Every structure is written in structure tokens, then in C-alpha cells.
């Protein structure tokens, strides 16, 4: 399975934008880029996903590099509730559709 | 819609004892997953069910762990006997079948059961 690389931790000030990077240099053509986040003492929750084009939803935006070897999750205005571990995961459009979690990026939001 | 339910939320047992966790997925979700999350790490898949059949249990320590999914709905995960290294959060997740073509494949997770083995 293709792997992803994320920074261990990041900090952001409240109400400022946050850009969470993810490298996936061995991504294949049928791999979707998924982001999940895990708030303290909760199970992970889906944030956003994309294949080639940039995507927006009510939670975040996903910017995908043209060569698809990296992507960036964008939180437009960080709130204290956004403090969580963010996971970047590649999901192949075939097979058993399993999520393989790495260690993710721990985002701290400073008031 | 109601989320994924898990019980108990917390459990403390001594090593060599047995323990069972219960999961009720979102109604209509055919696929069910059990994950183990050790402190400081991401969740690791233990077993995946499609309806009441096992899709993948390659990472399930079968000498001590067992799981079943009754009638394709609820599921139980059992550990017998427990070891100290089994201390972790056990997460259950469910999903609709993936139709491909860009449809979101989203797993919905329960709150987890925190197991402490002493």
C-alpha cells in the first residue's frame, strides 16, 4: 500500500488558517486521498476526500498537487474545537477499502 | 441517524482474564470494522466484516482474539486471555458498501472502549 508522510505536530492560533501537509509520493492512479481527524477521547471522523481536483466542504478544503504526490488540508479559521490528530490516508478504489492509519499530525490551537 | 454504539466505554481487568466488547453499527451499514488503538498511535485494523462474513482478519491475534457478527448486525470482540500489551482503545466502525466512481467511502466510528489490563 502507498504510504503517507505527515509532520508529527503543528500549532495554529485561533481564527487563523491552518495548512496541514501530506506527502504521498508513491500514490497510484486509483488512490483516493482521504482525511480523517480524531478529537481527544473520540473515534476518528471523516473530514474530506479527493482524487485529482481540489475539494471543498463545510469542514475544510483539500488542495491536491498537480502530480498528486502531495496534498494539503486547509482549515480556513481554526477554532479550539479543531484541536485533534489529523490523518492523511490513501484509499484504493478496489479491494476491501481499508483505512491504514499512520501517526497523523497533532494540531494544537492556541487561544 | 444514530451513530455507532459501543459498550462498555471503559474496562479494567487483570492479565489472563477475559473481556468482551460490543458494537452496534449504523443501521443499513453492511461493513463493520474493529480497530485497536494503542496510546500515541493511529488505529490498526483487526478485522473487517461484510454482512456476517469475514473479509480480512489477517491482523487479528487469533490465539487470543475472536470476533463475530451476529446476523450481519451487531458484533462482539473477545480477548481471552488478556495480556498487558492488549491495553488500548478498541474502536468499532461501519460503512456502506463502496460503489466506486468517486462516491465518498466514509467510515463512521464509535467512541471506543478503553481497556486497561493490569
Band the pLDDT of A111: cuts 50, 70, 90.
very high
Q: Is A1 on the interface with B (CB under 8 A)?
A: no
Which of B48, B105, B110 is facing A43, going by the closest CB pair?
B110
- B4 chain-A contacts, CB cut-off 8 A: 43
* Touching B: A residues 54-83, CB under 8 Å: none
For chain B, the average pLDDT equals: 92
Distance, in angstroms, between A77 CA and closest chain B CA?
A: 24
CA dihedral B38, B43, B44, B46 (to 10 degrees): 100
The verdict on a CB contact (< 8 Å) between B105 and A45 is no
- B91 chain-A contacts, CB cut-off 8 A: 43-44
Q: pLDDT tens for residues A4-52?
A: 999 999 999 999 999 999 999 999 888 899 999 999 999 999 999 999 9
Residue B110's closest CA among B89, B91, B83?
B91
Cell of B69: 457478527
Amino acid at each position: 500500500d502507498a504510504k503517507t508522510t505527515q509532520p508529527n505536530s503543528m500549532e495554529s492560533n485561533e481564527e487563523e488558517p491552518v495548512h496541514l501537509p501530506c506527502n504521498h509520493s508513491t500514490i497510484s492512479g486509483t488512490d483516493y486521498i482521504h482525511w480523517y481527524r480524531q478529537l481527544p477521547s473520540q473515534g476518528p471522523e471523516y473530514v474530506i476526500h479527493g482524487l485529482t481536483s481540489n475539494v471543498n466542504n463545510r469542514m475544510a478544503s483539500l488542495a491536491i498537487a498537480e502530480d498528486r504526490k502531495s496534498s494539503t488540508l486547509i482549515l480556513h479559521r481554526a477554532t479550539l474545537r479543531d484541536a485533534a490528530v489529523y490523518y492523511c490516508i490513501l484509499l484504493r478504489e478496489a479491494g476491501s477499502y481499508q483505512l491504514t492509519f499512520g501517526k497523523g499530525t497533532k494540531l494544537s490551537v492556541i487561544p | 441517524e444514530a451513530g455507532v454504539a459501543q459498550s462498555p466505554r471503559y474496562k479494567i481487568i487483570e492479565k489472563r482474564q477475559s473481556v468482551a466488547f460490543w458494537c452496534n453499527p449504523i443501521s443499513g451499514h453492511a461493513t463493520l470494522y474493529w480497530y485497536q488503538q494503542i496510546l500515541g498511535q493511529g488505529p490498526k485494523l483487526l478485522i473487517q466484516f461484510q454482512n456476517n462474513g469475514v473479509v480480512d482478519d489477517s491482523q487479528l491475534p487469533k490465539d487470543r482474539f475472536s470476533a463475530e457478527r451476529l446476523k450481519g448486525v451487531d458484533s462482539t470482540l473477545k480477548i481471552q486471555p488478556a495480556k498487558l500489551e492488549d491495553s488500548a482503545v478498541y474502536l468499532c466502525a461501519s460503512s456502506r458498501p463502496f460503489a466506486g466512481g468517486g462516491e465518498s467511502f466514509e467510515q463512521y466510528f464509535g467512541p471506543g472502549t478503553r481497556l486497561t489490563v493490569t
